[in-house]
Amino acid sequence: MNGDDGEPGFGVYLHWPFCAAKCPYCDFNSHVRHQPVDQKRFVAGFLREIAHMRALSGPRTVTSIFIGGGTPSLMEPQTLGAILEGVAAAWHVPDGIEVTLEANPSSVEAERFRGYRAAGVNRVSMGVQALNDRELRFLGRLHTVEQALGAIRLARETFPRMSFDLIYARPGQTAEDWERELNQAIDLAADHLSLYQLTIEEGTRFFDLYNRGKLVVPDEDQAAHLYEVTQAVTAARGLPAYEVSNHARPGAESRHNLTYWRYGDYAGIGPGAHGRLGTASGKTATATEKHPETWLQAAEAHGHGMIEQALLSQEEQADELLLMGLRVKEGVDLARWSSLSGKPMDAEREDFLLNLGLIERIGNARLRATPEGMLLLNRIVAELS
């Protein structure tokens, strides 16, 4: 598999928006349909939007592909295969680049996994979320721990690389509970884990329960302690954090996610997908219609479902580079930031944050957040930008 060369790269993100059920914490663009989805019609829509994005981006070499959702593992393998063929027809896709598929344990079948592998997927990201049946029910997940363990085994047998997600800082969760669950997860993991604190997002069922006082989550201090436990346990077990919520054995970092955090270009295709494309006019932010059927009608009528295509100023790009780059352990390339912003880093503000222990220099070339600073990224960006 092609490795990471340290460059931002060019990624392709494909959004499959359909789920079997809507989780109470989820604010992603996901939709439940009680009738079968016309997958052939959606494939045609994806192919039209891929062609449109290719016209905007020009010829590029793809460094990673990510199929997210929603629940992409509800797709038939031939649906995925046709979409990936469309990507390969539009841009240069070298053999062996990282191709990741998100999957839910409740929708995993051995035959379907083999079909995805044959279509070109070489990395799977599993939405496990908890290793406790009671907690899985609380999170609205449709699978059991037994199903999750079976899906993890199958993923490890089928794909060269595998990651899975867990949510922590759940109501009533103690540091001891989380440490025990995290060690179990590391025993199961191949080379990568994504570990997210439970956040209460507007528009979700948890948001409504929280506002009515029927959902109590750990306070800021408790959540910070659980974050510290996460960093200590994963580092001790050989999966240190390379980003705020992502942990990997050295060399097993997600190439696609690094493209985001290094502020590379990526084409966002499908309902509700966002992108950042270098076009003839400059760096452009794109976004597509969220509602799947409305997006599909637009793609059929106009060749795409885009509802936003905004040219970003140099200052906006510098702010985004800083916000994304401070999330990762490798930090921000200061020369690139200065080139975009048209100014050097403010020495007085930098010294203020250095003295607080929130940022640190990596030689003279890069700046990164400290472990303490990772908890205060928005404050750091506001100070420096």
Domain contains 299: no
Each residue of 33-54: pLDDT tens digit? 999 999 999 999 999 999 999 9
Average pLDDT of span 363-383 = 90
201 and 331 together in one domain: no
107 pLDDT more than 80: no
Given a cut of 80, is residue 3 above it in pLDDT? no
Number of domains the chain contains:
2
**pLDDT band (50, 70, 90) for residue 189:** confident
Note the pLDDT of residue 4. Answer: 76
- Find all residues with CB under 8 Å of 89, minimum gap 6, and list them: 50
Contact between 23 and 10 (Cβ < 8 Å): no
In CATH, what number is assigned to the domain containing residue 379? 1.10.10
220 with 329, same domain: the answer is no
Backbone angles phi, psi at 299, to 5 degrees: -60, -40
Residue 14 counted as domain residue: yes
33 burial (CB, 10 Å; 0-12 / 13-18 / 19+) is: middle
Residue 316 has pLDDT above 80, yes or no: yes
pLDDT of residue 243: 95
Do both 227 and 125 map to the same domain?
A: yes
Whole-number percent of the chain with pLDDT over 90: 88
**Looking at the predicted structure, is the pLDDT value of residue 5 above 90?**
no
Average pLDDT over residues 172-192: 94
Confidence at residue 69, expressed as pLDDT on a 0 to 100 scale: 93
Average pLDDT in the 120-146 region? 95
Share of the chain above pLDDT 70, in %: 99
pLDDT of res. 196? 96
Whether 2 shows a pLDDT value over 90: the answer reads no
Q: Which of 190, 225, 260 is the last residue of a domain?
A: 260
Residue 102 lies in a domain: yes
Whether residue 112 lies inside any domain: the answer is: yes
Per-residue pLDDT at 77: 96
What is the per-residue pLDDT across 46-84, written as a single tens digit (0 to 9) for each?
A: 999 999 999 999 999 999 999 999 999 999 999 999 999
Residue 6's pLDDT band (cuts 50, 70, 90): confident
338 with 204, same domain?
no
Q: How far is CA 279 from the centre of its chain?
A: 23
Nearest to 319 by CA among 252, 251, 381: 381
Tokens of 20: 């079997």
Decide if pLDDT at 296 tops 80: yes
Note down the domain range covering 183: 10-260
- Encoded amino acid at 69, one letter: G
What CATH number is attached to the domain comprising 66? 3.20.20.70
Mean pLDDT of the chain: 94
Place of tokens 């599993």: 126
Do 137 and 25 lie in a common domain? yes
Nearest CA-CA partner of 79 in 33, 38, 43: 43
pTM: 0.95
Does residue 1 surpass a pLDDT of 70? Answer: no
Q: Within this chain, do residues 190 and 320 fall inside the same structural domain, yes or no?
A: no
Q: Is 283 a domain residue? A: no
Q: Report if residue 130 sits inside a domain.
A: yes
